[in-house]
Structure 1
Amino acid sequence: MTADKPGNDGHGREHDDVARLHQAGDAAYRRLVEGVLDYAIFLLTPSGRIATWNAGARRIKGYEAAEIIGRHFSVFYTQPDIDAAWPDEELKLAREHGRFEDEGWRVRRDGSTFWANVVITAIKHADGDLLGYAKVTRDLTARMEQERERRRMAELVEESRRMTEFIAVLSHEIRNPLAPLTNVLSLLGRETLSPRAAWCVEVASKQVRQINRLVEDLLDVSRVTTGKVRLTTAPLELGEVVREAVEGMRPAAEAREHRLQGTWPREPLAVTGDRTRLIQLVSNLLSNAIKFTPPGGTITLTLRRDGDAAVITVVDNGIGMTAQTLAHAFEPFSQGEEHARGHGAHGAHGGLGLGLALVRSIAELHGGGAAADSAGSGQGTTVSVRLPLRTEADAGDAADAMK
């Protein structure tokens, strides 16, 4: 036997092996392409008719191979694109530049549209003759929707920021002239006035106090939204805080001829919180109930322990909330439209719908939360706030901080 040398039968066998490897590779490549599910991959004739069809094309576009092979690929384009001869323009650009990429709406078999990334590659013979095109399509609808949602959220955040800044500036500008008005009315109240003049001063004073309260609410919402609220926390007995708030709101309840009841446990409920803000929280809960309960109603506040939390619940027998109102109960300015239509909020009830928004914000700043419930319009409302109780570990941390 003689050894194989270049140019003899050994070289011929190697050439045959390479040819068989290429054939096997071509078959494997075709199977790979045909089985791809995430991309629609198919070949087009020079005139743009579909010559092959893979599993991804079937999944994305909805056609079976027997339905689509032989048809012009413009079937995937919207009518405006077809009218503008865009499919033929894509082939022309791919032919001239070797490759063309585009994104746009494409049409599935059922007529629905999807956002597609399309790459068309011209396939040419060694002598430059055009053999056809390879077309790869990706469905980017989900990604586009995510990007659209991201942009929408960014726009909402920016809009909220601008609105908050506007509210803060507006509130400060309104508050500036209120101080001298308050002083003037206070001085007039000390004068000897006719009954009519005294009545005018009383009405004006009441309205100025109302404007002051609304401005303070606006400023509080602005501070909470921009994260400028800083709690001055300390160990508190929540029952004392709640009782103080109830007594502070009792005159307002009596002015509306309401029966205001409060119940709380005998044992102390220890929390860590900002006393002023927690009084504001309870006062807003009661103010909301007083405002939306017709004269002569009953408002009940209950403070109780529930596991490792304290729960403050205010129940009224007022105008109640519909499901739509409940869904937005804790959003700023949410009370206006529906109550204005159904119950005359801006007339009989007044306010800007900030009370419950501040309740939720203060509760969350203390690590708690708020919830509202109602059986419907005219069925009263229940609003509950949960606040975490102070643990022994919290007490230890506070003691360490004081050393």
Structure 2
Amino acid sequence: MRLLVQSIRDYAIFMLDPHGRIVSWNAGAQRIKGYTAEEIIGTHFSVFYPPEDVAAGKPPMELETAAADGRWEEEGWRVRKDGTRFWASVVITPLFDEHGELRGYGKVTRDLTERRSMARALDERGLLLAHLVQAQERERRRIASDVHDDTIQSMVAVGMRLRALGERLPEEYATAVGSLDDAVEAAVGRLRDLVFRLRPPGDGLVEGLAAYLEREMSGVAYELACDLDGEPPAEAAITVFRICQEALTNVRKHAGANTVSVRLASLDGGVHVRVRDDGIGVTHREHRDGHFGLIEMRERAETAGGWWDIRGAPGEGTTVDFWVPAVPRTHDPAGRQDPAGRRDSAGRQDPAGPS
């Protein structure tokens, strides 16, 4: 029986003592969670839970419920050794001896991340999300075009007239007009920056991030590393870019960092991203209250069906970790092609159009 349990690789099967400490470990647990038996035995099993679940007291609650009801079962996010998360099916079973004394718990975990991503790619919610993301980007591009072609051009014309007027006025008035011209020029610069942020640069995710880093991270040494199997679907690429954009904006404005690295990799049928800087770290207030930018990043990732995390002690830099599914949408139950496709079952052009 020990040989059977320890050799299974598709399921993490291990035992906890009555207090939740790990006392056994099989090959599947090492493959799924990343720890060897020597590293993890004796550690409390809460190490596998996201910080927000630990803070909410979820691990001990699950043990108490399992002991009272005879089992605990759920699906949810769990954390690997390297900090990445996976969608797990978990069953906890209390183990009683012949005298009815609780001797510990059996825990069986299965990694369902890829299956969940595939199901999400086919369901109506995933289809709606894809259309929503692309609609948001179209609106951003429209606003960027309006600002660039109308507002900026009008303000540039105002600046030219102010300069021409200043050349004809006495010095005492020319100085005031020159100050107005400087204010207009500064406003034009801010609007150009807004247009740049609204409209992702480049033709693909990596190219867009490279262009963004080059333009926005002046004074900060940066590194961009990519290990993707291919270009993600449009909605996944947009989501990844926007979260990275917010994370890098925080680095530039608030971190006081000298270096930042952005690493992208294909993982579990999605894109895993790690943005790490050497700045001031995350303050207690940001963890407790939630900075608006942090909330926006988390909501983007979770709305896409993924996860997001931030960590970093004060003075030790910050790491933003997130993952979003990137399964190509090849089927729509209503007969339409995916949002990157062009026509529905009747041959009509998809009103969402290409991104």
So what's the TM-score if we normalise by structure 2? 0.36
More helix per residue: 1 or 2?
A: 1
Query: Of the two, which has the highest radius of gyration?
Result: 1
